[in-house]
Amino acid sequence: MKKDADNKNPINELQKKRWSPRSFADTEIPKGKIYSMFEAASWAASSRNEQPWRFIYGLKGEGENYKKIIDTLVSWNQKWAKTAPMLVVGVAKLNSDYHNKPNEYAHYDLGQAVAAMSLQAISDGIYVHQMGGFEKDKVRNSFKMSDNYEPMVAIAVGYLGQPEDLPDDMRELEEKPRTRYELNRLIFNGDFKP
Amino acid sequence: MKKDADNKNPINELQKKRWSPRSFADTEIPKGKIYSMFEAASWAASSRNEQPWRFIYGLKGEGENYKKIIDTLVSWNQKWAKTAPMLVVGVAKLNSDYHNKPNEYAHYDLGQAVAAMSLQAISDGIYVHQMGGFEKDKVRNSFKMSDNYEPMVAIAVGYLGQPEDLPDDMRELEEKPRTRYELNRLIFNGDFKP
């Protein structure tokens, strides 16, 4: 299944192909591809090169992390995310090493790293689905996280599955085309009139 | 000049080649390439597909935006950013359309969009340098921005210039290799021990 972007101006193949599936194949991700995803994330830009991103990950059937992460997801997300062979929690490091005050780019830079990770995944035929629907406090407790870290995003990772295997309501979402605002609503070469 | 990532695991060419120069060539960016950069940004993932990213941009010698943006930069950034043919301000839309409360992914998602923009630029041989060093209030005033929007990042965009044209202190930075933490400091398959 393909859900290529319906872009009006040419864009690179990685960004064109990226989308967020709910149906994953029952196929393990080779360890080398996992490291490539995190490696790509690590080469994202960040304010003062502070790299305020950390990643907890779990592989299905290996160790405890997968189970610990899936237990933090809201039930709607649990239903489909359990088909993914890998789950990740993206964590922002909140205080700056530079001035030991809050780093105002902690969340922004984590976003840059996860975007880079998503595109690296696509270059290896792997898809990523980010979720805000998880219990932050449960993650904090499960992983004994100090206040200097914030679990911002849960991420399901794997190869594409079959939409037919999803419950009806999720299959509809899976097959719906991707939509975005027109550029003229987003970019301003004169006054800022959003 | 090349500053390819010194990656330990294979990563895609776009992320490998991306870096943040201070020296830009005196070459205009074709309009089509500019739209491609913003188009790629617009196809980033976002929480509930809210797309909380807006971009103000100015082209050197065209209209007032370039001058207005450069006036908001701290003096260190003004010195080199003035060589770039294009300046952008990345703006986060703070309130969610969904529940009309703060969108906790506003900054995170803007980061994803700018990361996508940076990689699209690279695919066209164009480089991007993000800056936190600018006066937010000055941007707010210059562009009459409501409280629902936050200017998060200023961005210089253009083709690579010659490091020799930079002042000595900046040339040293330009020629220094890119560095990142080792992955084992960033990723956790068991306990979270950052």
Question: How many domains, in total, are found in chain B?
Answer: 1
pLDDT of residue B86: 98
Q: Which residues of chain A have pLDDT under 50?
A: none
pLDDT of residue A98: 86
Distance CA A132, CA B165 (A): 46
Measured between beta carbons, which residues in chain B are less than 8 angstroms from residue A133?
Answer: none
Measured between beta carbons, which residues in chain B are less than 8 angstroms from residue A59?
Answer: 189
- Report yes or no on B118 lying in a domain: yes
Question: For the segment A165-186, what is each residue's pLDDT rounded down to a tens digit?
Answer: 999 999 999 999 999 999 999 9
- Report yes or no on B125 lying in a domain: yes
pLDDT of residue A169: 92
pLDDT of residue B2: 85
- Report yes or no on B16 lying in a domain: no
Q: Which of B187, B191, B193 to mutate to test the interface with A (most CBs of A within 10 A)?
A: B187
pLDDT of residue B99: 87
Question: For the segment B10-59, what is each residue's pLDDT rounded down to a tens digit?
Answer: 999 999 999 999 999 999 999 999 999 999 999 999 999 999 999 999 99
- Report yes or no on B185 lying in a domain: no
Q: Which residues of chain B have pLDDT under 70?
A: none
Alpha helix stretches (DSSP H) within chain A:
13-17, 31-42, 65-70, 75-81, 106-123, 136-142, 168-175
Distances from the Cα of B51 to the Cα of A39, B47, B140, angstroms:
26, 8, 20
Distance CA B188, CA A91 (A): 11
- Report yes or no on A58 lying in a domain: yes
- Report yes or no on A171 lying in a domain: no
- Report yes or no on A35 lying in a domain: yes
Alpha helix stretches (DSSP H) within A8-161:
13-17, 31-42, 65-70, 75-81, 106-123, 136-142
Structural domain range at position B164: 27-174
CATH number, domain with residue A39: 3.40.109.10
CA R_g for chain B = 18
Q: Is the pTM of this model over 0.90?
A: yes
Shortest distance between the Cα of B165 and any Cα of chain A, in A, equals 23
Percentage of chain B beyond pLDDT 90 is 97
3-state secondary structure (DSSP) of residue B173: helix
ipTM, two decimals, is 0.98
Cβ contact B157:B85 at 8 Å: yes
| B16 contact A CB<8A | yes
Shortest distance between the Cα of A90 and any Cα of chain B, in A, equals 10
Question: For the segment A51-68, what is each residue's pLDDT rounded down to a tens digit?
Answer: 999 999 999 999 999 999
| B94 contact A CB<8A | no
- Report yes or no on A69 lying in a domain: yes
Q: Which of B4, B17, B42 to mutate to test the interface with A (most CBs of A within 10 A)?
A: B42
Cβ contact A91:A142 at 8 Å: no
